[in-house]
Structure 1
Amino acid sequence: MTDTLDPALRRARMLPRAAVGPRTLPLVRGLMGLALRRTGADSVVTLAGGARVHVYRPAGAPRGGLLWIHGGGFVIGSPIQDDPWCRELADRYRLVVASVDYRLAPEHPFPAPLEDCYAGLAWLAGRADVDADRIVVGGASAGGGLAASLAILARDRGEIRPVLQLLSYPMVDDRTTLRTDLDDGASYRMWNARSNRYGWRCYLGTDSSGDVPALAAPARVEDLSGVAPAWIGVGTCDLFHDEDLAYAARLREAGVDISLHVSPGAYHGFDGVEPDVPVSRAFTEARHAALADVMDAA
């Protein structure tokens, strides 16, 4: 893993490097709550199990659906943070986009967030205006990890067959927390090793040396055959770089159609912080291309 940032990503040097932890979590949640008070969704639907989805509808008849899962290390975040992205996809590809407001850890550890996501997927697939054969699951960071687990869960339950996993720098392997060669703070922007240990501990209810259910961390699942094709994008300066490349290789070995996009010199969440620089535009275009290809082919 390299820590040489792309020179165009100038804002990286101004990003806070403090870790999310038990002392800072209430403050971070409070600040995000103030910043993200109004949704741009067309509606918010409460599902049978109590989870909610923020729903974005296209102007015309939908071609399919996207179940989107926000990031935040399993402990913070809201669908509202992805409002512009969900609205763009709904309009650009004529999709019904359902962004899941899943329950957060540590109050709700695994499997509650994943089951909330499955409830959202089932709701989306059951809509009369959504083609159940054209449903994509996707997410960023922890949301990408949940989307990867959701694709495996959908395969195992056999009720819904997503046509694509759209995974932006997904958080797929808790065992990264056991590595001793990773910088504990300063080098990684947006999400560092200390935050990672805290997020996984909250989600798992234990540290990674304990008994971890495979579906809680998709990289632990032994059999990945038969899951939906995947697009994975990650930067070389992202804490998740190594685990994402390893997961992509395992998907490929299992016979899964996988497209991997690696952004040189990019940190975690760079495309959201600095969307207009070349490396971010290339990342976004690659993600759009993956979605366009599968929607045209489905």
Structure 2
Amino acid sequence: MMTLPRPALDPELSDLLTTMPLTTTLTPDLLAQIRQYPSTPPETFYGRRTVQRRELTIPTPDGTHLPLSIFSPAASDAAAPCIYWLHGGGMVMGDRLSQIDIPLEWLEEFGAVVVSIDYRLAPEANGSTLVDDCYLGLRWIADHADELGIDPTRIIVAGTSAGGGLAAGITLMARDHHGPAIAAQILICPMLDHRNTTVSSHQYAGDPGIWTREKNQFAWQSVLGQATPNPYLSPALADDLSGLPATYIDAGTAEVFRDEDVTYATRIWSAGGQAALHIWPGAFHGFDAVFPQAQLSREARHTRTTWLARTLDQLSPARSAAPLVS
């Protein structure tokens, strides 16, 4: 296949990208090496607040215990909003502390309780196991809302990359199974479609990058194994995107997931739903997680936080109880 033209990278991001060791493909050996690198300690991102951190595990039906990290403001008010964070890493790497600086900004800004889970990774686990783990965590949060000091009507599901796809998946599960109420979903450059057939997927093939078509193929093959894809694992397969909560989706123009993310937002609108969509010019996959100091990254994070502030304001108990002004 001939090389397709690509949108130009943002100049600052392009310069920063030259400092990273990049590859085109992902192999089992390389994956094992990457997994050895620990996540940045979350204390690095606490900012001005004093944060209480709690660690526990929750059991799955097959007897596995999944670690959870819970971050709460030390002086939190009752009935705080909750951010349920699902980390990125192609469903093959990362842990519950990966990219944790993103939701910790919302703890700082809104006094939110942040909960993050270590869902099992492929290829050791595959098929629906990963999304089922994430849904189990959502149910645990809803069942322990009082203990966590959160408002069960303000649970926000959020994730980046693979975590964004899993967030979309459990939002569909909650809708279909009449599960816990999800007030909003924040899908950051989400991994939504196992088919890997879009124009943007083909544009980012054949050259080293943060996340290439080849890496995406490796990840999905690891996740699916012999399993049949379903809409909860690969949300782009869902026939019906109606009845979803307020949704925020963003991605870059220069990344594999651009087109599947745009299509997902478009289908939410077509089903009568609300979705805010931001496609950042010249941004590659995960740009604001990898280089948060870049100007475009700061703009993307600010825009996301502004949307969340408006969404939480619309969900606030005081606003709900206020009389209508004629």
TM-score by length of structure 1 reads 0.91
- Corresponding residue for 1:27? 33
SS at match of 2:121: coil
- Structure 1 runs (4+) greater than 4 angstroms displaced: 37-41, 177-180
Deviation (angstroms), 1:42: 0.1
CA contact (8 A) 2:193 2:235 kept: yes
Deviation (angstroms), 1:255: 1.3
Is 2:68 aligned against 1:53?
yes
Q: Which runs of 5+ in 1 are unaligned?
A: none
- Corresponding residue for 2:240? 223
Deviation (angstroms), 1:124: 1.4
Deviation (angstroms), 1:167: 0.7
- Corresponding residue for 2:182? 162
How far apart in 1 are the matches of 2:111 and 2:141? Answer: 14
Q: Structure 1 vs Structure 2: percent identity of aligned residues? A: 34
CA contact (8 A) 1:177 1:196 kept: no
- Counterparts in 2 of 1:106-255, with a 5 A limit? 106-126=123-143, 127-128=145-146, 129-176=149-196, 181-186=202-207, 189-206=209-226, 211-255=228-272
Deviation (angstroms), 1:93: 1.0
User: Which stretch has the larger CA shift, 141-150 or 77-86?
Assistant: 77-86
SS at match of 1:252: helix
How far apart in 2 are the matches of 1:82 and 1:274? Answer: 11
Deviation (angstroms), 1:115: 1.3
**Higher percent of residues as strand:** 2
- Corresponding residue for 2:19? 14
SS at match of 2:251: strand
Deviation (angstroms), 1:38: 4.9
How far apart in 2 are the matches of 1:23 and 1:60? Answer: 44
SS at match of 1:234: strand
- Corresponding residue for 2:54? 43
Of 234, 257, 273 in structure 1, the residue corresponding to residue 290 of structure 2 is: 273
Larger Rg: 2
- Counterparts in 2 of 1:88-99, with a 5 A limit? 88-99=105-116
- Corresponding residue for 2:322? none
User: Can you list the C-alpha shifts for 1:78-101, whole angstroms capped at 9, x where unaligned?
Assistant: 122223333322232111110111
Q: Which runs of 5+ in 2 are unaligned?
A: 44-51, 316-326
- Corresponding residue for 2:86? 69
Deviation (angstroms), 1:178: 7.8
Give the superposed CA RMSD: 1.9
Deviation (angstroms), 1:131: 1.0
SS at match of 1:266: strand
TM-score by length of structure 2 reads 0.84
Deviation (angstroms), 1:177: 5.3
